[in-house]
């Protein structure tokens, strides 16, 4: 995405629109009143900003600041000393948001629920998955899917953005150091979170994301449930799944399955059906791993479909417990 044709004012407006005025307060305070008024006008006229564009502009501003600090003439050197002091203070606050990690989910929700969705997404990316799933589940409904989308789109988190977030929450956060740009597997992170939250809420989020990015949703679904997780399916639901799968496909899927998965399947079949399945597996001989993977994926798709209809319960989703 090329940002070379964007003016400086537009780039500042992109940052303000994407991350909010509080997170960009240090940058805004360096502008004149006329420039601030121009930025406000641009922000009000802008539509939604793609996360990728905001990320690239943020990186550009970070590079510009580093280049300013590397100037060689005396005047620039004096400025660098001032910037260096400010930079040192900022870097002293750059961290993996350790203070946030120590908060319980209710505290986190109260703290972030009124912040910009991009800010919330970055914070969620820095806390453990169990706590993160509770936070996203308890966010206001109107921002859940927006936050989820931004989590999925996270690739690199610019350290300077963490410093700005720290500044917003300076009463709650304490400093550490992290100079490296953080790599983030946004889709993997969101898939893990959706695996743990209530199925109804997860379904709502995926349904809303489907309208924005179908391909991304498919990637998320592929990562949300793996074949080995079949052991987490309740027995009644497992029996319904097995009725929907051809014996030959099931045999192929089980060819490279763990003993736990095989046992889960076998115990939910009649004696006769179990013997037929075992004979089918033995008769397969050598098979291509791709064929096995495809068969396993077909079964996980059936499980996900049945879960969305309430026909299957998966242990651990949203803290569900089984009652006999």
Q: Would you list the DSSP string of 13-43?
A: HHHHHHH-TTTTHHHHTTS-HHHHHHHHHHH
The pLDDT-based confidence of 82 (bands split at 50, 70, 90) is low
Q: Is the pLDDT of residue 207 over 70?
A: yes
Q: Is 154 left (phi over 0), alpha (psi -120 to 50) or beta?
A: beta
Q: Is the pLDDT of residue 90 over 70?
A: no
The pLDDT value recorded for residue 263 is 95
Q: Torsions phi, psi of 260, nearest 5? A: -65, -40
* C-beta of residue 229 within 8 angstroms of C-beta of residue 264: no
Q: Is the pLDDT of residue 321 over 70?
A: no
| β partners of residue 156 | 183
**Weakest-pLDDT range from 78-92, 119-133, 135-149:** 78-92
Q: What is the pLDDT of residues 21-43, one digit of tens each?
A: 777 787 788 888 888 888 888 88
What is the 3-state secondary structure of 99-119? HHHCCCHHHHHHHHCCCCHHH
Q: What is the pLDDT of residues 228-269, one digit of tens each?
A: 888 989 999 999 999 999 999 999 999 888 999 999 999 999
Q: Is the pLDDT of residue 174 over 50?
A: no
Q: For the residues 71-88, what does the mean pLDDT come to?
A: 53
Which position has the higher pLDDT, 136 or 3?
136
């Amino acid at each position: 995405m090329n940002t070379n044709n964007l003016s400086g004012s537009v780039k500042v407006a992109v940052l303000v629109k994407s991350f909010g005025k509080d997170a960009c307060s240090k940058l805004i305070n360096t502008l004149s009143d006329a420039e601030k008024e121009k930025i406000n006008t641009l922000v009000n006229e802008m539509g939604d900003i793609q996360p990728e564009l905001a990320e690239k502009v943020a990186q550009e501003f970070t590079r510009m600041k580093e280049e300013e600090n590397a100037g060689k003439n005396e005047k620039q050197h004096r400025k660098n000393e001032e910037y260096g002091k400010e930079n040192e203070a900022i870097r002293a606050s750059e961290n993996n948001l350790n203070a946030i990690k120590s908060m319980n989910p209710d505290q986190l929700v109260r703290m972030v629920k009124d912040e910009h969705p991009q800010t919330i997404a970055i914070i969620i990316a820095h806390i453990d998955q169990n706590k993160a799933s509770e936070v996203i589940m308890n966010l206001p409904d109107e921002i859940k899917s927006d936050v989820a989308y931004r989590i999925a789109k996270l690739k690199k988190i610019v350290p300077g953005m963490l410093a700005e977030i720290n500044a917003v929450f300076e009463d709650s956060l304490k400093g550490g150091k992290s100079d490296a740009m953080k790599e983030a597997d946004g889709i993997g992170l969101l898939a893990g979170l959706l695996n743990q939250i209530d199925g109804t809420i997860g379904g709502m989020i995926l349904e809303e994301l489907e309208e924005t990015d179908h391909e991304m949703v498919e990637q998320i679904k592929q990562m949300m449930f793996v074949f080995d997780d079949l052991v987490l399916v309740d027995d009644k639901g497992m029996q319904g799944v097995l009725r929907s799968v051809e014996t030959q496909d099931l045999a192929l899927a089980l060819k490279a399955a763990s003993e736990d998965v095989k046992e889960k399947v076998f115990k939910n079949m009649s004696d006769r059906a179990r013997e037929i399945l075992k004979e089918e597996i033995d008769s397969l001989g050598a098979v291509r791993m791709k064929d096995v993977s495809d068969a396993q994926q077909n079964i996980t798709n059936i499980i996900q479909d049945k879960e969305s209809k309430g026909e299957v319960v998966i242990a651990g989703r949203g803290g569900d417990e089984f009652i006999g």
